[in-house]
Chain A
Amino acid sequence: MARSGMFERALLLRACADSFAKMDPRVLVRNPVMFVVEIGMVVTLALTVDPRLFGSSVHPGGVGNARLYDLVVTLILLITILFGNFAEALAEGRGKAQAEALRRTKTELMAVVQRGDEYQEIPASALRKGDVVKVVAGELIPADGDVIEGVGSVDESAITGESAPVIRGAGGDFSSVTGGTKLLSDELIIRVSANPGETFLDRMISLVEGASRQKTPNEIALSVLLAGLTLIFLIVIDCLPPIARALGAHMDVATLVALLVCLIPTTIGALLSAIGIAGMDRVIRFNVIAKSGKAVEAAGDVNTLILDKTGTITIGNRMAAAFLPVQGQTNHTLAESAALCSLFDETPEGRSVVELAQSVGVTFRREEYSNTRNVEFSADTRMSGLDLTNGTRLRKGAADAVKRYVIEQGGDIPRDLDEIVERVAKEGGTPLVVVQNTEIQGVIYLKDIVKPGIRERFKELREMGIRTVMCTGDNPLTAATIAREAGVDEFVAEAKPEDKMRLIRREQEQGRLVAMSGDGTNDAPALAQADVGLAMQSGTQAAKEAANMVDLDSDPTKLIEIVSIGKQLLITRGAITTFSIANDVAKYFAIIPAMFTSFIPALGVLNVMHLSSPKSAILSALIFNAIIIPLLIPLAMRGVKYRPTSAMSLLMRNLVLYGLGGVLAPFVGIKIIDMILSVCGMA
């Protein structure tokens, strides 16, 4: 989803317009920090109109001066609020633009729906859950549903961005279709599974638009803390004037408002919702649809990842790794038989046998064997092979199946076969026994290939404190080998769907948060039970319903990236909060001396930044407070850089950067602004 510069500019313009619309107090009241700023702005605006409004003792000659000062403060406060609104609008804008693109695919469709025994054409928007529709090649599928009849290839690029068509057919794990995708071939009978407005596309639109965005639990907690801090500083400022008056000092109301706005955590207050929206946006741009922000946040908290072996940890297919001849046979003859019986075997395993044979110098050409009969694998015989024209029958298959086949025909079982088969199994491989007529020639060592780089990923996860558990239907020996090779922390062999469920329950019982991915209908209960469940877009409707995220690329490994995104979201929030609070130190040193020096001149020594005048000090602090918001927008949108490492080193790094940096940066920033102000003669 590349974006052009023009597109970004349109976004910016729209965000600018939105920032003014968001000034509406009814909207702003949801953000207590910025709402306080708005009230402060109203107060200073009133003071601009009448500087003596609150009984302030303004010299008759100084009214103009006071009015100018009040006006400048008002303007800076206005800009502060606008910056905050802009951040939010910008974050929302990206989603809105995306939603519009999606909506365009949702043009009004006609659907051929079954009514009684006949089909009739109605608008797709009139379809209800349970309706049965017919779609023919070249048509758009009118609604989400399950294929109940037929097989066809579907172009899902409107949803996934992936242009290669996928096969959808009745029964099994590939029966779900999504409204708005295009059927390329054949004809499908589909049972609609969603009412209008609740379809996948609808949900996706409302998600990216942020319309259904609810504050996540963590965001709520942080908002409470920020509101609490705002309240504390409100008390601090409100209690100052009576005390100062009793001591004979005069407090300027605009200055008090300025101090208040500087002290309350406006930086994080302004950016908080933008961070959340941008975090969700990052997930979406990653081609994952999260059903709620809560799920993304929970991903950051995950302690245990449950991963299927096949497709996630291994590349999904076994590859021939070695030929192991039985006694009396040579490597070469075994390779020949193996290659020949796999010659027309189109499975990845079969291809890998041919390739392995080529690597030891055995090559056959298909054209020369065009008259042979290819015997495909069947669940019955559990063997596949080739019948040559000379009557030779070549077979390869599971050890027990081949053994039975040989014994039935009166052949002998080589004495060392069992030993070889067992050795292969122990090493985590799958033994395929090759037989020529009744003579067993040896074993093909099929090996699970661990995805490149996965071991390093697991190591990173371990450093992040996340345990990985591999689930596989393999026997314990095979599973242990893969587990060792991939470097997972734990594995479950011969796993049935219930085992996965039990595993999740066990982990949750111990207080851990569990994430898993799945696609089949039998994964659905586990996906629902897991704290983070990632379903594949290619999976069944049931799995997609149960999960709280759907990966449009159908890549189960993405679970790992989602964890990083969740963490990044939390870190960004924490970092900007810390920065915002740490900023207060410098602002105090700018404003307190400026406020009190006319009354207690000795307090001038607290003016450690040597700001040129009290007014300039206050304005500089206030300006810094405002411009830090747009300066941090890129950080809020992009997220704080996250490197997988232990919590404590992460804490130290971020503390130095955002804590210490947050204390020091405003000293420098305020001084520079003060210098600019005095050069411009505004101080």
Chain B
Amino acid sequence: MTATGVIAIAVVVFVILLCAWPLGRYIFRTFAGERTWVDPAVRPIEHVLFRLIGVNPDVDMDWKAYLRAMMAANLIMALFAYGVFRLQNFLPLNPAHIPAMPPYLAFNTAASFITNTNWQNYAGEQSLSYLGQMIGITFLQFTSAATGLVAAMAFLRGMSRQKTNSLGNFWVDLVKAHTRLLMPLALIFAILLMALGVPETLSGPAVVHTLAGSMQTIARGPVATLEAIKQLGTNGGGFFNANSAHPFEDPNVWTCILEIMAMGLIPMALVFTAGHFLHSRRIAIVLCTLLSAILLIGAYVVYAYEAGGNPILTHALGIHGPNMEGKEVRFGLPLTSLFVASTTAFTTGAVNAMHDSLMPVSGMVPLLFMMFNLIFGGKGVGLLNILMFLIISVFISGLMVGRTPEIFGKKIEAREVKLATAAMLVHPFVILVPTAIAMALPSARASMTNPGLHGFSEVLYAFTSAAANNGSAFAGLNGNTPFYNIALGLVMLFGRYVSIIAMLAIAGALAAKARIPETSGTLKVDTFAFGYVFVAVFIIVGALTFFPYLALGPIGEQLQLT
């Protein structure tokens, strides 16, 4: 570890926070229906779109209607993507003549992209046509990010409104998320990436004669546009199998920094958005400070353990120096470490180094971040998880001030606790049960490329990544088997929708309640004192749930090394 490295990591995080601050306000104004400076440009387009899909933008929906619209839209989009993957050999824009995707894999891929997970049991450049990449993958990368985002907006509306059942209009929110946020930002990022050397073309693979005289086929395509939304939408599914480690996806240090920023920008901004909705700038500051601190600690742990090198190599072979296995030299250790921490904190899932090759404790950091699933978290859903654990924390500690617990003036009663508990329960459930099944099935065990504890870490990582809708992989596991395609696909679907449904139901309940005025007898959620409680609760509940498994996986492995 060097001082420069440590400072560089902190500076990047700080810059993201700085950019997120105004963006959070902009997102608030957009979804609170206030005027923004983009109105004149996008309003006419939106009106045409609303007319086209037959939506009256003035109609408000209650939580059930909102949820129905969201689930219907998601189902149709998932089926559409599945169809495209299955039929791509008959469809245009397939210069490399890639065959249709097999059914299990197509299910897994559709589930993966509709849930914003972007787990890839295939190599993009070999298994998908350009059309598949564009209207299957890139399309869902936009809409899945937007879905999570609008779910969070609906929840915040529920918390900030009172005595109403309306949470807004799903179709209006979905359109606005695209026209006013994701598309403009993606355009800017795509252009920046192109300027920094990322290719963007519809021509087929380049065929070149190498110096050695042989022929080489170099895959390429519309990379920059996919890359932009892949990072911005916390998607993570790369154009190439090597993801952001591939020189066409992430050619240099500057694109690397840009990609890290793109991952963190909207999740962090949403915390500020929440602050605006809840009329509490302090809650945004408290959450951003504490969560950024945890993100930094994670990045530093990775950095420290990677810089420390592999003790086996040191002892057996006398090789000193950092652990560079699976890393790209052009990024260096600090940026790689921050990328590892960020891609799991923001549940993006893009990788610029192979997580399988990290030292066990460094590998545990992304694992833990996905188990928490709320270190800012994915687009919208991360914020929903934060709010869910805030509700649980308020309920546990709120009792200790001698009142029925309340959060921002809304009472937390049996219904909310029931739903929040369900949302909290589903995460360990969809991680541990399939992991246990996979470990019990000899056929599933055969997918592990490493024996013993490390192999177990691979399986645990896969299901954790799927449940957290992250999509990054401990690349060692061969996931393209019927078992893993189906199991991971289901885990992704449950991991995403159960908590969204529960949270929207809570939003509906909260919206109907009257706001209780704050007094000195009220527990103040937006203070650092309560912030520490929140952190303690999610660490105790989150981490202790997985402690035995971490002990069998990365902790045991690291201890065996030294």
Contact = CB atoms under 8 A, between A and B. Distances in A.
Contacts of A325: none
B318 interface: no
B392 interface: yes
Given A511-B516, A584-B540, A225 B395 contact: yes
Interface string A646-659: 11101110110011
A577 B540 contact: no
Contact of A236 (B395, B417, B545): B545
B374 to A, nearest CB: 16
B114 interface: no
B399 A571 contact: yes
Interface stretch (A214-222, A336-344, A447-455, A615-623): A214-222
A574 interface: yes
Interface in A445-466: 462-466
Interface in B507-530: 514-517, 519-524, 527, 529-530
B413 A221 contact: yes
A239 B436 contact: yes
Interface in B274-333: none
Interface string B514-554: 11110111111001011001001000110011111101100
A480 interface: no
A242 B540 contact: no
B556 A221 contact: no
Determine which residue in B400, B524, B556 has the highest number of CB atoms from chain A within 10 A of its CB, and name it.
Answer: B400
A642 B402 CA distance: 9
A492 B428 CA distance: 55
Interface in A463-506: 463-467
Given A240-B548, A247-B453, A603-B555, A300 B530 contact: no
Interface stretch (B139-147, B418-426, B480-488): B418-426
Given A247-B452, A648-B529, A217 B414 contact: yes
Contacts of A596: 551-552, 556
A600 interface: yes
Given A243-B549, A654-B400, A228 B414 contact: no
B458 to A, nearest CB: 12
Contacts of B424: 228, 232
A17 interface: no
B403 A570 contact: yes
B399 A574 contact: yes
B445 interface: yes
B55 interface: no
Nearest to A662: B540
Contacts of A659: 397, 533, 536
Contacts of A249: 552
A676 B436 CA distance: 37
Given A300-B402, A646-B521, A651-B529, A242 B437 contact: yes
A588 interface: yes
A581 interface: yes
A401 interface: no
Contacts of A582: 540
Measured as residues with beta carbon below 8 angstroms from the partner, the interface class of chain B is 35 or more
Interface in A364-397: none
Determine which residue in B162, B540, B546, B560 has the highest number of CB atoms from chain A within 10 A of its CB, and name it.
Answer: B540
Contacts of A236: 428, 432, 545-546, 548
Given A246-B439, A582-B540, A648-B529, A600 B401 contact: no
Contacts of A263: 544
Nearest to A602: B559
A647 B562 CA distance: 48
A303 interface: yes
A510 B517 contact: yes
B551 A592 contact: yes
Contacts of A297: 404
A657 to B, nearest CB: 9
B412 interface: yes
Contact of B521 (A231, A465, A568): A465
Contact of A658 (B400, B436, B519, B545): B400
Contact of B392 (A225, A467, A647): A225
A510 B514 CA distance: 7
Contacts of B533: 651, 655, 659
Contact of B439 (A242, A467, A577, A602): A242
A106 interface: no
A467 B521 CA distance: 10
A477 B126 CA distance: 88
B436 A242 contact: yes
B421 to A, nearest CB: 3
A13 to B, nearest CB: 33
A578 interface: yes
A158 interface: no
B14 interface: no
Contacts of A577: 396, 399
Nearest to B533: A655
A585 B544 contact: yes
Contacts of B549: 239-240, 243
A647 B403 contact: yes
Given A232-B545, A242-B439, A243-B549, A465 B396 contact: no
Contacts of A465: 519-522
Interface of B: 162, 392, 395-404, 409, 412-414, 416-418, 421-422, 424-425, 428-429, 432-433, 435-437, 439-440, 445, 452-453, 456, 514-517, 519-524, 527, 529-530, 533, 536, 540-541, 544-549, 551-552, 555-556, 559-560, 562
20 contacts: A221-B416, A222-B395, A225-B392, A232-B425, A240-B436, A247-B453, A300-B404, A567-B403, A568-B402, A574-B398, A581-B541, A588-B547, A596-B556, A600-B551, A602-B562, A606-B555, A647-B521, A650-B402, A655-B397, A658-B400
Interface of A: 217-218, 220-222, 224-225, 227-229, 231-233, 235-236, 238-240, 242-247, 249, 259, 263, 297, 300-301, 303, 462-467, 509-512, 566-568, 570-571, 573-575, 577-578, 581-582, 584-585, 588, 592, 595-596, 600, 602-603, 605-606, 642, 646-648, 650-652, 654-655, 658-659
